[in-house]
Amino acid sequence: MSSLTGKRVLLIIAGGIAAYKALDLIRRLRERGASVHVVMTESAEQFVTPLSVASLSGEKVHTALFSLTVEPEMGHIELSRDADLIVIAPATANILSKMANGIADDLASTLLLATDKKVLAAPAMNLRMWLHPATQRNLAWLRANNVAFCGPDDGEMACGEFGPGRMSEPLAIVAAVEAVLAIGSTTIPLPAGVGIRPEKPPGLLAGRRVIVTSGPTHEPIDPVRYLANRSSGKQGKAIAEAAARAGAEVIVISGPVAISDAAGASTIHVETAREMLEAVSRTLPADIFISAAAVADWRAEAPAGDKMKKSGNGPPSLSLVENPDILATISQHATLRPRLVIGFAAETTNLVEHARQKLARKKCDLIVANDVGTGTGVMGGDQNTVHIVQADTVDSWPKLDKDEVAARLVDLCVTKLEEKTR
C-alpha cells in the first residue's frame, strides 16, 4: 500500500507555462491512492482547462472565490482545512509573493492565507524572476515560516534561457509530498487558547448511524463485459459527506465509481447488486438508510466463464434474471428496519407518478425522484433537480448543485426523525 493511500491533497495550479505538468502530477498522486482536489487561478486557465483537470482528478475544479453555491458554507475555509497537504504546482513568483505578503485577492491566495495545513511549493518561473531580490526575499520568509519547497531545477526555459527556475518533474514532487507527509502532522497549531470554543454544539445527527448506497452496480456477462448504468456516485458521495458533517457515523456502500471516497465516512466497495445487499445487511442496524445507488435491475442468469466471441451466427442470447431489491428488502426488514428509509427514483417519463408507485411498492418513508432523461445531464453531472415524494405531498426543489441537494436532504432527515420521536 502506498504511503499516500487515503491522503487528501489540495493542488493549486498557478498561471505558468509549467501548468501542463500539473496534469501528470494529478495522475501520479491518484495512482498512489491520494485524492486530489484542485484550485486553479484565472491565469492557470490560459494554459490548461478546468475540464482537463476535472477529468484527471475526478473532482470538481474550483476557480472562483465568490461562488453562490459554495460561499454560504465558507467553501474556501473548508477547502483549506479538509486537505492533508496543500501543493502549489507550478508556484509562480506572483503567488509566492502573495503568500509572503498576506495578499488574498482570489480563491487560491485566500485559502493559502486561511489554511492551517502545511504547504509544499514547486516553483516555476524565468531564471531572472527567480534570482530577483524580491523573489529571494519572499522565499526566505516563506522558508522561515515552514513552507516546504521542491525545486526549482536548472534547465532550459520556454523563453530560451537556461538556468534555475524550471519546475521539478511530477515524480520528484510526488516524492516531496510523501516526505512532507511522513514527518507527521501537517497542521499548523494556533497560539494557546486561540480559536477554541468552550463548548462545540453537537451536529444535528450526532449519535446517529447512517448507511448510504451509491454509484452503479456492474453485473458480469463474461470476464470482460457487464451490465451497468451511467451513475457516477456523485450524489451519493455528497449525501454521505453532508451526513458526516452533521455528526453522523456514516457508512457508504459504493459500486464501481471513478471518484474518491466520501470524506468523513467509511466506504465499502462492492461490484454487484447481490454484494451491495450483503454489505448493507452486514452494516445494520442504522437510524437512516438512504438508497442513492442506481442498482441494476437485472443480471445475466449464467455469466460466461470465458470471453464471448463472435461466431458468425449472430449475437448470443442473453438470459436475464432480476436482481434483489435492496430498497424493498431493507424497508421491509422484519427486525432491523432503520427508523428512516429513503429511496431514489431515476426516471425518464411520468416522474412523480412512477415515484409514487415506487413509494407504495417499496414501503419506504420518502422517495427522491429525479429526471435522468436524455439532455438532463444528471447522471455524471454536478447538478440535480429533485422532487421529494411522500405519501401525501410532493415538494419540488429547484435545480441545485448535488452538494446543496445533499445538504437539504440531510436537513429533511433531521426533521423526519424528530417527527418520528414525537
What tens digit of pLDDT does each residue of 63-112 get? Answer: 887 653 444 444 556 677 778 899 999 999 999 999 999 998 889 999 89
* pLDDT confidence of residue 73: 45
Per the structure block, which three cell numbers stand in for 319? 438470459
* pLDDT confidence of residue 383: 85
Residues of the chain with CATH 3.40.50.1950: 8-182
Per the structure block, which three cell numbers stand in for 416? 423526519
* pLDDT confidence of residue 158: 60
d(CA 134, CA 128) in angstroms, rounded, equals: 11
* pLDDT confidence of residue 26: 95
Task: Residue 106: name the closest of 43, 190, 154 by CA.
Answer: 43
* pLDDT confidence of residue 194: 44
Pairing of strands 383-384, 400-401: antiparallel
Q: What is the amino acid identity at position 24?
A: D
CA quadruple 94, 99, 105, 107: dihedral sign? positive
DSSP 8-class letter at 382: S
* pLDDT confidence of residue 66: 64
* pLDDT confidence of residue 318: 87
d(CA 281, CA 292) in angstroms, rounded, equals: 16
d(CA 2, CA 33) in angstroms, rounded, equals: 7
Per the structure block, which three cell numbers stand in for 110? 485566500
CA quadruple 55, 60, 63, 69: dihedral sign? positive
Per the structure block, which three cell numbers stand in for 54? 476535472
CA quadruple 353, 389, 254, 301: dihedral sign? negative
159 catalytic? Reply is yes
Mention the CATH class of domain 209-298+319-421: alpha beta
Residues of the chain with CATH 3.40.50.10300: 209-298+319-421
Name residues of the chain where pLDDT drops below 50. 68-74, 190, 193-200
Report helix, strand or coil for 261. Answer: coil
pLDDT, tens digit (0-9, with 9 covering 90-100), for 135-184: 999 999 999 888 999 988 877 666 566 667 889 999 999 998 998 888 76
Backbone angles phi, psi at 135, to 5 degrees: -65, -45
CATH for the stretch 8-182: 3.40.50.1950
* pLDDT confidence of residue 72: 44
Which among 150, 159, 364, 413 is annotated as catalytic? 159
